[in-house]
Chain A
């Protein structure tokens, strides 16, 4: 898990604001970069993902920005809603090793 570092650990955002979560990784062999969302009492669910040949991907209010040279990728949540309150994990995948490595998570709270 030390291969992947997420920041911040927790985040409080006003409704309608922008939430930004960052992820730094060490292993250059990672070849798929997803974000997972987890609600209390549930398992994580895939939210959005990007391949390393693309610098940005947008799906609705969610955007991933990817910087291969800096070995970083980030999740942006536009127009944040109270229903977005959850824990978010970056979880890069290493195809050669058949494993997905999760970050420690960011707890997001969106104030109504």
Chain B
């Protein structure tokens, strides 16, 4: 049973460019959350997708957008890249529970913006 898979593993872009990151959730999971983790920091919540809709969003600008497909996989898009967008982008999947959330993370995509 495959866990959460993310692609690509590493990416180098220049300022102003656009990037798309991809995530396949763990089998049986229908909810996907995206997090940004700067070096030496904790993951920061970007947004969560459930039933192909953005259900909740963190404090990130509109340059960050996403999508969830009918097979529950998801994409994170970042437009007009800034140097400060350099980070590890983590995807996590889960199954909605009553008053709890058990996140299963992929290994992330390391994005470097030059």
CB <8 Å contact, B41 and A43: no
**Range of interface residues on chain A?**
20 to 34
Contact (Cβ within 8 A) B41 A104:
yes
Q: Are the CB atoms of A104 and B42 closer together than 8 Å?
A: yes
Chain B CB within 8 A of A93 CB: yes
Asked whether, in the complex, the Cβ of B56 is within 8 Å of the Cβ of A99, the reply is: yes
B100, A41: Cβ atoms closer than 8 Å = no
Given contacts A49-B102, A100-B103, contact A43 B48 (CB under 8 A): no
* A105→B55 contact, CB < 8 A: no
Residue of A nearest to B91 (CB): A43
B106 touches A98 (CB 8 A): no
B44 within 8 A of A: yes
Which residues on B sit within 8 Å (CB–CB) of A103?
42
Confirm or deny: A51 has a beta carbon within 8 angstroms of a beta carbon on chain B: yes
Closest to A45 in B: B105
Nearest chain A residue, comparing its CB with the CB of B94: A100
B61 contacts the other chain (CB 8 A)? no
Shortest Cβ gap from B26 to chain A (Å) = 12
Q: B43 and A97: CB pair below 8 A?
A: no
Bound CA span A79–B33, Å: 34
**Chain A interface residues toward B at CB < 8 A:** 1, 6, 31-32, 34, 36, 41-46, 49, 51, 89, 91, 93, 95, 97-105
